[in-house]
Amino acid sequence: MSAVSVTTMSAMKQITQQVEEWFGNSSMVTQLFKNCFSNTMSTTILPQGERDTFVITGDIPAMWLRDSTAQVRPYLLLAGENHEIAEMIEGVIYRQLNSILVDPYANAFNVKDNGAGHQKDKTAMSGGVWERKYEIDSLCYPIQLSYLYWKSTGKVDHLQSDVFKQVVREILSIWRTEQNHERDSTYVFERDGSRKLDTLSREGKGPITGVTGMTWSGFRPSDDACTYSYLIPSNMFVVVVLQYLEEIFRDVIGDLETTRLISSLSEEINNGIKNYGIVSHPKFGDVYAYEVDGLGHYVLMDDANVPSLLSIPYLGYCKKDDPIYLNTRKFLLSAQNPYYYSGLVRGIGSSHTPEGYVWALSVAMQGLTSDDRGERKELLEMLCQMDAGTGMLHEGIDCNDLTQFTRDWFSWANMLFCEFVLSEMDLWVVASPLATQ
């Protein structure tokens, strides 16, 4: 556990007091928020030194690039005024950037070069890497956090640093390479065992793909293998963070040549989404596919893990009232989506957990992407039923038995719930360069 200073505790208490005033001191929402908001800070944030903050995901002692961003995002509200919280988040950013330089294809890292994690996987593992499943969003989230930290604090040192520029060059190179995975990529991944979703086919190369302009992903944000490797919501996230990088390289760094390269890649990927990622559904009309292969095959579904199709207005790719998004949303929140479950609670689950298990992430995301006040109120109340009596949220919970759940300690779910609560109070607004166009 990390020690939380009096100054930081005081700053966090100001937020919880505002929640109390809004929802009432004795409300279930307030109590769950207090638990979630404080638990992440006191149990998962592990400072390692100057500009170095390691963040464990919860009950797994490793740092995911995705989760660590999501875990600290709500604290950005305080970073502009609280020096300690700003330093903590800046430390997360530098840890993420340096981790990417260790291995840009890895999704999760060890606190030290200690050889922990999945070292027997058939891929180019190293001692500092916990897991080397290539997921596009792992490279998106650190850019998002770097951008939002700038917007929250006005600080630009991290964006002007050599390590940031080096990491961006590495990321752009990989996304370019993976536009033609068949021809250009050397990445392979295999894991021995009975679970097919933990390994890639064709001796680790993955399913065959055509060239679309989009960039390839081996795995989903759930850490499960893609069925078809152009993962639409993750490519949408790439387009958004490339917009962030355009702004950074134009307005902060002043590198117009790199800005043009970023803009060109963004356009290619976005055209790929438009040309290959939209499917005509007989009931719902034009909807976004979850995955495609560029050869005519596609998967219509959604997964609770973000980026998801449900989350694309939250990511900043489109507005909440975008017609194709609304069609897609109706499909996702129906029995037509193979991972939508309904019982005592209802929402989207994942291939990563048992059938019938609804994820708190998807319920919170449904609320964050809704303009219906009644729907959001119902979803907040539902989330308060999903703690299984533990006072915090989990990964998936059996929609027909709310005592059965996966992962006792899952910080990402706790903090996305906090974002949902803060959004209800109009305290959480994320700059979205595409959604406002």
Q: What pTM value is reported for the model?
A: 0.97
**Any idea what DSSP says for residue 225?**
B
- Print pLDDT tens along the chain (437 aa): 567 899 999 999 999 999 999 999 989 999 999 999 999 999 999 999 999 999 999 999 999 999 999 999 999 999 999 999 999 999 999 999 999 999 999 999 999 999 999 999 999 999 999 999 999 999 999 999 999 999 999 999 999 999 999 999 999 999 999 999 999 999 999 999 878 999 999 999 999 999 999 999 999 999 999 999 999 999 999 999 999 999 999 999 999 999 999 999 999 999 999 999 999 999 999 999 999 999 999 999 999 999 999 999 999 999 999 999 999 999 999 999 999 999 999 999 999 999 999 999 999 999 999 999 999 999 999 999 999 999 999 999 999 999 999 999 999 999 999 999 999 998 865 544 444 33
Residue 390 lies in a domain: no
Residue 285 lies in a domain: yes
Residue 199 lies in a domain: yes
Range of the domain at 298: 44-338
pLDDT (0 to 100) of residue 194: 75
Q: How many domains does the chain have?
A: 1
Give the E-state strand segments of 77-232 in sequence order. 108-109, 129-131, 230-231
Q: List the alpha helices (DSSP H) in 386-410.
A: none
Q: How far apart are CA 383 and CA 370, in angstroms?
A: 15
Half-sphere exposure of 179 (CA within 13 A, CB side): 19
Half-sphere exposure of 252 (CA within 13 A, CB side): 20
Residue 180 lies in a domain: yes
pLDDT (0 to 100) of residue 437: 39
pLDDT (0 to 100) of residue 427: 84
Which long-range CB contacts under 8 A does 324-332 form with residues at least 24 apart? 324/278, 324/286, 324/287, 324/288, 325/288, 327/281, 327/284, 327/285, 327/286, 327/287, 328/284, 328/287, 328/288, 329/369, 330/284, 331/281, 331/283, 331/284, 331/287, 331/300, 332/302
Closest to 292 measured CA to CA, from 189, 176, 211: 211
Residue 99 lies in a domain: yes
pLDDT (0 to 100) of residue 383: 98
- Between strands 129-131 and 340-342, the pairing is unpaired
pLDDT (0 to 100) of residue 432: 46
Residue 270 · residue 239 · CB < 8 Å: yes
Residue 350 lies in a domain: no
> What CATH number is given to the structural domain containing 169?
1.50.10.10
pLDDT (0 to 100) of residue 435: 42
- Between strands 357-359 and 396-398, the pairing is antiparallel
Residue 19 CB coordination number (10 Å)? 24
Residue 228 lies in a domain: yes
Collapsed DSSP state (helix, strand, coil) of residue 61? coil
Residue 218 lies in a domain: yes
Q: How far apart are CA 218 and CA 187, in angstroms?
A: 9
